[in-house]
Structure 1
């Protein structure tokens, strides 16, 4: 079986029989090609973290470092167009860069995905010169949301009015609420151009929101007609988020990113093969879906790194063992290893769901529209679920590391705050889950009633097939409740009907994510031969399923899908799995394939972590060289 581990840098040859196969489970069968470049890159010197005690860099210095690293990364690519054209490369970029430098992952994702990717997607039939962007003579950014329009960006109010006499467009910001909100548009890092989402006005007619390529800054200031103001400091990575507005800025006709959604011909006539302004907008910003996959990848990588550090620290942080007992590692306590074992089951589930979604989304590109829509919906559901789960895992791991985990040099604080950005970026989680819930509720309403009400046969809590059926029943229960509440709501008021159903419908979306993640476990187990790796993965799969079933045990009992004895047995079954998983936490963390160099940059990841706080001028170093008080005898 192929693995990303190289024989020379495998972190622990003794456990590779388990760690190697599980790395392939997490990173895919083609892990060396898909992840190898990025894994090697983060281990090189330009991407290493500065060690304490020098003062930590300021936010502006960290942003400058992120741009310097972006140039190093770009120079290392055989073609800068590769990540823009390859969703798997983009996802892997985020998976490995986010734990190392969240600001770098942010600016790289914007440049390669939202900016370059959109240019490549929409200009395939009339390619433009991208050399400045491919060589980073200009950095690309993406201006979609506005102060008054975030998740409803289709209602953006920035205008691009076609000027027939000059054969181009005049960009204008009509009021404060239409200022572009949050794009990285300052001159930091070098000259920038942006793709600006603006309402296309042709001969007085609103044709919908399109993207236009607009130069924004030179190396030191905004260009004429463009106004850029830095926003207040944002929690998390120090990206130059700004307010950006336009005062009658002219760009030529070629600035419009055309496609099936519409374009203006040489005759000055607007033509579109897409009906409806909203559909045209969604076609224009199609790269946001890829961005959601990248947010999931960032969350997966950050959660894995944080969990690996917490597991290592728990093994070499010793505490008193009792009045007559020697000190023991803190990981010896159930109160410590239990949350980490549960986090391990969640992190594997996140990773498997991420890969499942990426596979399905890629395949759907050539399928009928209904399949593409279903794949896009699963991307949305996974983005919300994975980033929320990552936040829970990262916060738990930080807490398990105590005060040490609060220090920036131990790598966790940036990830604790950085995950909040992923939860909001490319569509707020709650908004995209609400949209998925509405679509899935409609599907439930059209499903045959016998399918909705079907009950699984009895089973055993150790049987993954039975647990999988229970996960499906949880989903059906919540969507059934949502449908019933919507049916009872007054007709004629869509908002009131949705409000009546949205609570249980969102629980149904959450249940669907759990079921899809459990399917990821099923497929991974089916591909593994008998042996230690399969046993470890099976334990994680059962622990993951049982924790969700326990949260919904009352509903399952009431519906007759669990017996009272099974509900009573959930605690013992879960505790046994926690004990089984905790005994293998180090080798499970090793399967994340984090480079030694990466772990070495976080002091608490090493057994000699106290050395990071040593003081060469302190008494314990100088006492031996001092002359004893009172002179010598």
Structure 2
């Protein structure tokens, strides 16, 4: 039998001041300054969707539209260079553009962050002329990964050999595995230049991987020595992903993006202030960290948008209420609003963790190396966790919208597949989590205890205390990393790979637990920062629901370790069910706090109570009184 709750409680009017307070929680204290431009621009005509029912654009038309919008966006900016130098601005771009036009978010992120941002980072004396890229007479792209080298991009095999006679570099692709894989290098969108990651040889010595600025196409054709072929269509939004190779392409010495990691002087000698080829490579592609922040932002924005659509639709999609009962909105059913309440708790957690990682990276990016590395590790962990959570939320919300959620015109399908790109872009999630796990399996254990564990092993607190729940989450993390260390210690001799294989499972679960703990801590801090009142109550319910669902999944370990009592474990399910009821009653209010422009929501038929009118047929019998429509009439 389906459990129901009072439909009127679920669909109560939105309390504006509560939604506003929660918007500040989600978007930050300076939400208007940081996000206002992007909220306004996606509500303007160039970024609106065509009305249903005309057929949607083809993939090539979508691609052309995205590049046209990129130029419109660039013209609306006061400075493309300022945006490229601002991690917050870049994150906000992705947070708002990704749900509207994932293709646009992709090409904009590549141009402003990976391409223009890298040029600015390495052009410390501002001697390079960037006017073509700032005016978008040329679009920038980024060529790092190769057919045979993705997450191991430090091993790329494209070469850049210094030619002292011509005082420049010769780029060459030695074999098929060294073809650049996935960059948007086609002639779509206009002339392009790329930053090419290549192995630098000077005097026959391999100095590691550096970036070089290389013109790729002009207004008419691919430039001599450059070969570009479109890859097969991929899932998700259409981007002109290509294979790109070089046949003895010459560029001047100024094409090298050097700096402290290395330069070739006027005397033709390579000098570097950075020891080790791997460190030089990481310095060259430092913009990847900002890119991971942007992938988190894309996922956060897409998950929020999908959830807002699902909440709206479920409030005005009516089904039979049973014998002699009026129709009910589907959101009245526990089987429907329960998953949406859980998704709401997760989406707030994703947003708060994203803000925490962004804040820490911005504060540390120019600071001491240990702080920068710690902040970068949080960015990596957050990117993996947030994009995986976004996938779960988006798929759940699509299903809650039934067949309507399968139609492209209703705004969800593109996000279902689009999040897969974020999961893989800027480093596959599993690869970057495995790297974090290998670093944290030793270092994270003391940290977990220092940040609120129970040194004496005894529980102290209740399930309504967010800080106590945070300490429980710290213990889940500690348990997993301790388990990993124990397994590695017991592994039979056979080298580091066998030891890592023995301990990698719990170590990866420890990284997941770390993400949950960081998100729960950000939740608790946000609750504490709010004044007493309805907004604080709403956020506290969400925070507890989020933490307790994770604690329930790990209750066996916590019980065995003595951090939960049997009575607490027995009460978890009932407490969670009560919180689901509390959160579900305010779903429209919580969705309103996302700050999505009404113009944006209006472009998707199912967000409106009169959504069925989108499918009206002016020539059907209910309009014509039984007269036949003209032969061959169609949309």
Per the TM superposition, whether the score is higher than 0.5 is yes
- Cα distance change of structure 1 residues 151 and 70 upon mapping to structure 2, 3 Å threshold: same
Matched ranges for 1:434-583 at <5 A: 434-444=434-444, 454-491=456-493, 493-583=495-585
Q: Which residue of 2 aligns with 1:631?
A: none
Per the alignment, in what secondary structure is the counterpart of residue 274 of structure 2?
Answer: coil
- Cα distance change of structure 1 residues 446 and 492 upon mapping to structure 2, 3 Å threshold: farther
Whole-Å separation in 1 of the counterparts to 2:80 and 2:497? 46
- Cα distance change of structure 1 residues 293 and 449 upon mapping to structure 2, 3 Å threshold: closer
Whole-Å separation in 1 of the counterparts to 2:400 and 2:458? 39
Per the alignment, in what secondary structure is the counterpart of residue 184 of structure 2?
Answer: coil
**Post-superposition CA distance 1:349-398 (Å, at most 9, x none):** 00000001111111112432111101000000000000000000000000
1:198 deviates by: 0.1
Q: Which residue of 2 aligns with 1:630?
A: none
Q: Which residue of 1 aligns with 2:246?
A: 246
Moved over 3 A (4+): 444-454
Whole-Å separation in 2 of the counterparts to 1:458 and 1:391? 35
1:55 deviates by: 1.2
Q: Which residue of 2 aligns with 1:273?
A: 273
Whole-Å separation in 1 of the counterparts to 2:296 and 2:125? 31
Matched ranges for 1:581-596 at <5 A: 581-596=583-598
Q: Is the 8 A contact 1:455 1:473 kept in 2?
A: no
**Post-superposition CA distance 1:404-448 (Å, at most 9, x none):** 000000000100000000000000000000000011012147779
Whole-Å separation in 2 of the counterparts to 1:367 and 1:515? 25
Per the alignment, in what secondary structure is the counterpart of residue 217 of structure 1?
Answer: coil
1:547 deviates by: 0.4
The answer to whether residue 147 in structure 2 is matched with residue 112 in structure 1 is no
**Post-superposition CA distance 1:290-321 (Å, at most 9, x none):** 00000000000000000000000000000000
Q: Which residue of 1 aligns with 2:333?
A: 333
Whole-Å separation in 2 of the counterparts to 1:159 and 1:347? 44
Q: Structure 1 residues 356-365 or 416-425, which shifts more?
A: 356-365
Per the alignment, in what secondary structure is the counterpart of residue 579 of structure 1?
Answer: helix
- Given candidates 608, 616, 627, the residue that maps to 1:614 is 616
- Cα distance change of structure 1 residues 131 and 462 upon mapping to structure 2, 3 Å threshold: same
Per the alignment, in what secondary structure is the counterpart of residue 200 of structure 2?
Answer: strand
- Cα distance change of structure 1 residues 449 and 464 upon mapping to structure 2, 3 Å threshold: closer
Q: Is the 8 A contact 1:456 1:470 kept in 2?
A: no
Q: Which residue of 2 aligns with 1:161?
A: 161
**Post-superposition CA distance 1:506-552 (Å, at most 9, x none):** 00000000000011111211211011100000000000000000100
Matched ranges for 1:11-410 at <5 A: 15-410=15-410
- Cα distance change of structure 1 residues 447 and 19 upon mapping to structure 2, 3 Å threshold: closer
Per the alignment, in what secondary structure is the counterpart of residue 234 of structure 2?
Answer: coil
Q: Which runs of 5+ in 2 are unaligned?
A: 1-11, 629-635
The answer to whether residue 411 in structure 2 is matched with residue 411 in structure 1 is yes
Whole-Å separation in 2 of the counterparts to 1:366 and 1:297? 22
Q: Which runs of 5+ in 1 are unaligned?
A: 1-11, 627-633
**Post-superposition CA distance 1:205-230 (Å, at most 9, x none):** 00000000000011232111000000
Per the alignment, in what secondary structure is the counterpart of residue 15 of structure 2?
Answer: helix
When the two structures are superposed, what TM-score results if normalisation uses the length of structure 1? 0.95
Matched ranges for 1:422-433 at <5 A: 422-433=422-433
Q: Is the 8 A contact 2:458 2:562 kept in 1?
A: no
Whole-Å separation in 2 of the counterparts to 1:75 and 1:523? 39
When the two structures are superposed, what TM-score results if normalisation uses the length of structure 2? 0.95
Q: Structure 1 residues 522-531 or 249-258, which shifts more?
A: 522-531
Whole-Å separation in 2 of the counterparts to 1:345 and 1:137? 44
Q: Is the 8 A contact 1:157 1:173 kept in 2?
A: yes
- Cα distance change of structure 1 residues 490 and 459 upon mapping to structure 2, 3 Å threshold: same
Q: How many residues align?
A: 615
RMSD, aligned α-carbons: 1.6
Q: Is the 8 A contact 2:449 2:478 kept in 1?
A: no
Whole-Å separation in 1 of the counterparts to 2:573 and 2:524? 23
Q: Structure 1 residues 449-458 or 431-440, which shifts more?
A: 449-458
- Cα distance change of structure 1 residues 583 and 428 upon mapping to structure 2, 3 Å threshold: same
Whole-Å separation in 1 of the counterparts to 2:233 and 2:374? 38
1:15 deviates by: 1.5
Q: Is the 8 A contact 2:383 2:429 kept in 1?
A: yes
